[in-house]
A and B are shown apart, each in its own frame.
Chain A
Amino acid sequence: MLHDATLTTDRLAGTHTSLDALHRASTDRSIAIRNVSKIFKTRQGPIQALSAVNLEVREGEFVSVIGPSGCGKSTLMMLLAGLDRASSGSIMIGGKTIDGPNADIGVVFQQDALLEWRSALSNVLLQAEIRKLEPKAARARAEELLKMVGLEAFHEAMPHELSGGMRQRVSICRALLHNPPLLVMDEPFGALDALTRDQLQVDLLRLWSNRAMTVVFITHSIAEAVFLSDRIVVMSPRPGKIETIIDVELPRPRRLAVRDTPAYAHYVQAVTDIFKTLGVLKEDEA
């Protein structure tokens, strides 16, 4: 098959970057978003997706961005990945200004974007092939990652043989293969059932537990944001701007049981209240 052949040529070419070198090269994992605005020109006139967004994310921090549809969450992700340009303001990651596709990153989308023609393992290794990482080390790392999410028995499974949750786990492994300093996830668990969602949250926290990377996690779910995050960035709709940032001081490592504690309920309530005052959530008067 196609990719086998290219893997071999990569090996012959001997132009690999070792995973360790990659790791050392990018020690600063902080993000500085300064006064970022984004205006889309559409046929109906300009639409302001983001308005003067300011955000500092510390190294190794887990930050969730939460807000209603159309608040510019996904736009923010595109800007972080350098896949789109801000209309004004600047984004710096690890002291480096982002002004083109940012490859120092791992991305996970709501749709898993697995390549249907590659096995689970081969999908994870795609990251290594394109980055020309040393194949042996990359393979070991891929196997380690798949094992961490409980897919060690599914290396050769094709995507269509996997459940939605398994597919998304493979795509997370792919995003982490090269030890990115920053992992950006755009509603990664949005298409999964509640039980699978819980499992993937636990899996994700396990992968992040040594704080080797900064995570920006975009979600619609208040409960998910509270369970996972160090801080929750609450955004208001059109034009998208940051309403509040909430520090979540729940102890780590977090277990699913934390969701039964009063402290957890308090944070969920706090975010819910903000959305109520914003008019995003409406309910009948009691």
Chain B
Amino acid sequence: MSVQAIDTPPLQAWYTRYEPPYALLTLIGLIIIWQLACSVLKVPAFLLPSPYDIMKDLVFNASYFVPHAAKTSLVVVLGFAASVAIGMPIAIMLSYSRILNKSLYPLLVGSQVVPKVAIAPLMLAWFGFGMTPKVVIVITIAFFPIVINAVVGLRSTPPQMIYLAQSMGASLWQVFFRFCLPQALPSILAGMKMAAVLAVIGAVVAEFVGSDAGLGYVILAASSNFDITRQFSAIVVLSALGMAFFWIIEIVERRMIPWHISIRGER
């Protein structure tokens, strides 16, 4: 392709092109400082466990953590998927109907003022103790950024683009799938990234309120046993889960919108 000549930089030596993983190095640095502080100052494990203590707990009790992590992951994935399935049609309706948008959008924003932790017990009362109340709690948290971002994205199609489509004789259907939806994808995916992180929070909240499994439950149980190390271990696993979900969406993003400036700018 002769195109490459336009904006690919000239071949550089690998050492000028190579960029170290700064964030990872910073994290490792912080962990080392933490470890040193714990060892040198002899901080007791019931106040602040050292990274080594946490790692030991995670490795030796892996068989304990894995099923709980799996349970939480399932809640996150189901809740996230349901959020997308419910959020996208709502966003499409809101972006097409002015009246619907005016009557629902403010309520939707207002509904975010309600603390989700506060309604969690209510969900339990309504949906019992199974999977359902947890998934519903995740939905109440995760579907909001999906709707808001999708609406913004779907409304950002330049009017000229619509004119162009109409001059081609495009049907409403074609205008949506060929023009508006691809145009909105960057915004939709940004919303999904936020939702992925919020879904993990939602799952833990749900497990705090009423559950006998999952990482939220592990934290609660460890807390009643004053097992600080166990709590930290669960937090580490939760963070890893959150990051993994975020990354998955990011990989999807790279595949779906390689043309978008947010992806291109990252070279």
Report whether A115 and B179 are in contact in the complex, using a CB–CB cutoff of 8 Å: yes
Question: Once the chains are docked, how many angstroms separate the CA of A81 from the CA of B162?
Answer: 12
- A-side interface size class: 20 to 34
Report whether A102 and B3 are in contact in the complex, using a CB–CB cutoff of 8 Å: no
Can you list, as one digit per residue, whether each of B146-190 has a CB less than 8 Å from chain A (1) or not (0)? Answer: 000000000000101101111111100010011100110100000
Report whether A160 and B264 are in contact in the complex, using a CB–CB cutoff of 8 Å: yes
Instruction: Name A108's closest neighbour in chain B (CB-CB).
Output: B164
Q: Beyond A111-B160, A113-B161, is A153–B168 a contact (Cβ under 8 Å)?
A: no
Question: Once the chains are docked, how many angstroms separate the CA of A102 from the CA of B164?
Answer: 11
Instruction: Name A152's closest neighbour in chain B (CB-CB).
Output: B2
Instruction: Name B2's closest neighbour in chain A (CB-CB).
Output: A153
A150 within 8 A of partner (CB): no
Could you tell me the distance in whole angstroms from the C-beta of A211 to the nearest C-beta in chain B? 22
Could you tell me the distance in whole angstroms from the C-beta of A118 to the nearest C-beta in chain B? 8
- B-side interface size class: 20 to 34
Report whether B164 and A109 are in contact in the complex, using a CB–CB cutoff of 8 Å: yes
For residue A245, which residues in chain B have a CB less than 8 angstroms away from its CB?
none
Total A-B pairs, Cβ < 8 A: 76
Report whether A2 and B168 are in contact in the complex, using a CB–CB cutoff of 8 Å: no
B118 within 8 A of partner (CB): no
Report whether B168 and A126 are in contact in the complex, using a CB–CB cutoff of 8 Å: yes
B interface list, Cβ under 8 A from A: 1-3, 6-7, 158, 160-161, 163-170, 174, 177-179, 182-183, 185, 257, 259-261, 264
Known pairs A107-B163, A162-B6 / 20 extra A-B pairs, C-beta < 8 Å? A2-B182, A82-B166, A102-B167, A107-B164, A113-B160, A115-B178, A116-B259, A117-B185, A117-B260, A127-B168, A129-B178, A130-B165, A130-B168, A130-B169, A130-B170, A153-B3, A156-B3, A157-B1, A158-B259, A160-B259
Question: 17 A-B Cβ contacts within 8 A?
Answer: A2-B177, A81-B163, A81-B166, A83-B167, A109-B163, A113-B158, A113-B160, A115-B161, A126-B178, A127-B168, A130-B170, A153-B3, A160-B259, A161-B3, A161-B6, A161-B7, A162-B6
